[in-house]
Amino acid sequence: MNERKDVINYFVDKNNYNSYLEIGLYGAPRTFNNIGCEIKNSVDPNPAANAEYCTTSDDFFKDLEEDLLMIPSDFKWDIIFIDGDHYHETVDRDVPNALNHLSDGGTIIMHDCAYGEGATPANPRGTDVWKSWVRLRCTRPDLYMNVINIDWGVGIIQRGTQQVWDKEPLDICLTEEYFTSLVDSNSVNPLDSYNLSSNGQFLANDSCVYSVDDNLTRTKLLPLITEQRFYKIYE
């Protein structure tokens, strides 16, 4: 198991999922194209993505609720992958919207949960999905959440129960200083994961695997789990 599509297909195969929604198709169609569901829908506002619905996730869910799409307003997907604009304000809305249209026993997968990045040509403001993840971990005891330690942190959300993170006030947990302080010296800095090559191109640090140590606050906060632990939890 190396990347997001492997995690998604694991749940598809294990639970016999039939329907899949992907939010954010541009730049990674290999995920959408390799998911083994009979019903697949995609959303992306960039025309170059060739998504089924060329619109923002906000407008997609609004149109869905108002019965303006070919999809019934009460339709529920078995698995939903959130990988949109990577800004926490959007993800803060995407997750509740996805939960409203998630089938019983369904799963939400999120990308980029274990790190953040500074400004890049693709994301001038940087990436801060981790803030949405931390907010959910601190406020939603009705969810069950884990981040598998692959592919920049692949988050898994299911309905269930969890002990919310209450070691620090939420406003402190959402600061970059707090999140960065949870990284040990042997790990990639999750807020400095990109660097410039000699020709000015941004290069991802492919060693996007962090130390998973039960003594590290970050491991407990996300919580960050190994691939081996993933299989034990979700067997």
Domain boundaries in the chain? 4-233
Q: For the residues 195-216, what does the mean pLDDT come to? A: 46
The tens digit of pLDDT for each residue in 100-146 reads 999 999 999 999 888 766 666 666 677 789 999 999 999 999 999 99
Average pLDDT value for the chain: 85
> Is residue 218 over pLDDT 80?
no
The tens digit of pLDDT for each residue in 21-38 reads 999 997 767 899 999 999
How is domain 4-233 classified at the CATH fold level? Rossmann fold (3.40.50)
Using pLDDT thresholds of 50, 70 and 90, give the confidence band for residue 216.
low
> Is residue 214 over pLDDT 80?
no
Question: 187 or 211, which is more confident?
Answer: 211
β-pair partners for 43: 23, 53
Contact 205, 183 (CB under 8 A): no
Q: How many CA atoms lie within 13 A of 181 on its CB side?
A: 8
Q: For the residues 183-206, what does the mean pLDDT come to? A: 39
Using pLDDT thresholds of 50, 70 and 90, give the confidence band for residue 220.
confident
What integer pLDDT is reported at residue 211 of this predicted model? 63
Q: For the residues 216-235, what does the mean pLDDT come to? A: 87
Peptide bond into 223 cis (omega under 30): yes
What integer pLDDT is reported at residue 2 of this predicted model? 85
> Is residue 87 over pLDDT 50?
yes
Cα 168 to Cα 120, 155, 164, 195, 217: the distances in Å are: 31, 22, 11, 31, 11
Contact 157, 144 (CB under 8 A): yes
Cα–Cα distance, 141 to 40 (Å, whole number): 30
Q: For the residues 80-86, what does the mean pLDDT come to? A: 93
The tens digit of pLDDT for each residue in 134-181 reads 999 999 999 999 999 888 889 999 999 999 999 899 999 898 777 766
What integer pLDDT is reported at residue 65 of this predicted model? 97
